Chains A and B, each alone.
Chain A
Amino acid sequence: MPDSVGKVRVHCRVNGRAVILEGHPMARLLDVLRDELRLTGTKEGCGEGECGACSVEMDGALVNSCLVPLMHAEGSEILTIEGVARERLHPIQQAFLEHGGTQCGICTPGMILAALNLLSRHPKPTETEIREGLAGNLCRCTGYTKIFESVLQACRESERGS
């Protein structure tokens, strides 16, 4: 709903908290999260929806926040990396730590969101399904090998119910 000339006020929930985001309707959700909410965990790697470093979940769907205009966040439930851990690290985060899934770390927030989203749709993915599920997230450091190992390990941990 346009409030002042050219701006919108968008009501949504970010990491479980109700917020009102104000800005240009075509401002990138990425910039609004980083600049307005100071949630700098979501990163810009390419600005063209290719690298996935800006991945967040919007209403349970993985999206590239660099391609989402602020207006489209109206009424949404948004999850960023800052909302993944609760009292403890999520099993995926723990697995990344234990199995070398993160090196320079810049792709890690987006990669963890993508892995989280994958597991929500495929709780027991095969390695092929993991490769496909993470294909929109580029990593330049790891060669992906230990990212897959981390995700597989996180599944095993989840199975064990820990």
Chain B
Amino acid sequence: MRAYLPAYHLEAVRDLNELLARLNREPGRWKLFAGGTDLMVLLEAGKLPHRNFLSVWKLAELRGIEVASDSVTIGAATTYTELRNNDTLAREFPLLCQAASETGAIATQNRGTIGGNIANASPAADSPPALLVYDAEIELVSARGTRWRPFHGFYSAYKQMDLRADELIRRIRLPRGQKNWRFHYRKVGTRRAQAISKVCFAGRARVENGRIADVRLAFGSVAPIVLRAIQTERLLRGEKISPALGRAASDQLAREIAPIDDMRSTAHYRRRVAQNLLAGFIDLLSSH
């Protein structure tokens, strides 16, 4: 445990209003502390640069999964375990539940939160690719008010996001009612459990008469941010599935992603595997 604890501050807040008021009074001073599964690791390594935290772990306004007729809304402080245990999510948003079940292991899932995951902005995060293909929207609140925006585009660059200094992520909303989509999620990690992703793929598509009527493709760990492969989607949309289409999509994907060499893997591996996972998905779409 390398951190000099006396230099750090963690305070509880009574409710969301108090939290927003404090963020408003001192924007940029406070970071939010949810389950702590990312922050505590940095703290222990002596590598946590922020000093002042407000705990949102038990904040009721940030918890809960609400099912409405047209959407499911998830509180930012919802844990991976809670996501996995929700029947509606398991039935209608299986990629998100699969992502949650492949994040760390049981102990991590009991404490890690979806909001913390989004705010931590790792390009290797497991759930955001699923959120992207489900056209998720996120709610950002501050003392000044609330706004919803698409999750797609939330990140502009590595660890840069559309979150102002006095704002926090409150909820994530997933539109329901999209039938007849095929879907696939694959995380390629360093081992079969408790692994950081080397390449992560989430994909959804609607196939009509052998044509890809609509498609969503998202990748993790192949760019500075979690990525929706918009150009590759565009290339596929409306086209008849064929080997030539698969090859073209593969080439397009290689141009759209920007994987790197790091201590876990190589750019070459990431690129090739991303292409192979896409090809596998297209194969899946062409079968019945």
Contacts and interface: CB of A to CB of B under 8 A. Distances in A.
Contact of B45 (A48, A50, A52, A74): A48
B104 interface: yes
A67 B106 contact: no
Nearest to A138: B194
Contacts of A61: 81, 110
Interface string B23-66: 00000000001011100110111000000010101100000000
B85 to A, nearest CB: 10
Contacts of A114: 106-107
B33 A132 contact: no
B57 A26 contact: no
Given A25-B10, A63-B107, A68-B36, A136 B194 contact: yes
Interface in A44-77: 47-50, 52, 55, 58, 61-64, 66-69, 71-72, 74
Given A49-B107, A68-B40, 14 more contacts: A24-B8, A25-B11, A47-B44, A47-B45, A49-B40, A62-B107, A63-B107, A66-B44, A67-B40, A67-B111, A71-B12, A114-B106, A136-B194, A137-B105
Interface of B: 1, 5-6, 8-12, 33, 35-37, 40-41, 43-45, 53, 55, 57-58, 81, 104-108, 110-111, 192-194
Contacts of A68: 36, 40, 111
6 contacts: A25-B10, A58-B110, A63-B107, A68-B40, A71-B12, A136-B104
A64 B111 CA distance: 9
Contacts of B11: 2, 25
Contact of B5 (A24, A48, A63, A135): A24
A66 B40 contact: yes
Interface residues of A, number: 35
Interface string A127-149: 00000110111100000000000
A48 B2 CA distance: 12
A64 B57 contact: no
A80 B31 CA distance: 31
Contacts of B110: 58, 61-63
Contacts of B12: 1, 71, 74
A10 B43 CA distance: 21
B44 A135 contact: no
Interface string A77-99: 00000000000000000000000
Interface of A: 1-2, 6, 24-28, 31, 47-50, 52, 55, 58, 61-64, 66-69, 71-72, 74, 114, 117, 132-133, 135-138
Nearest to B105: A136
A132 B104 CA distance: 11
Contacts of A135: 105-106, 192-194
B1 A24 contact: no
Nearest to B81: A61
A45 to B, nearest CB: 12
Contact of B107 (A1, A55, A74): A55
B37 A49 contact: yes
B55 A72 contact: yes
Contacts of A48: 41, 44-45
Contact of B43 (A26, A55, A71, A117): A26
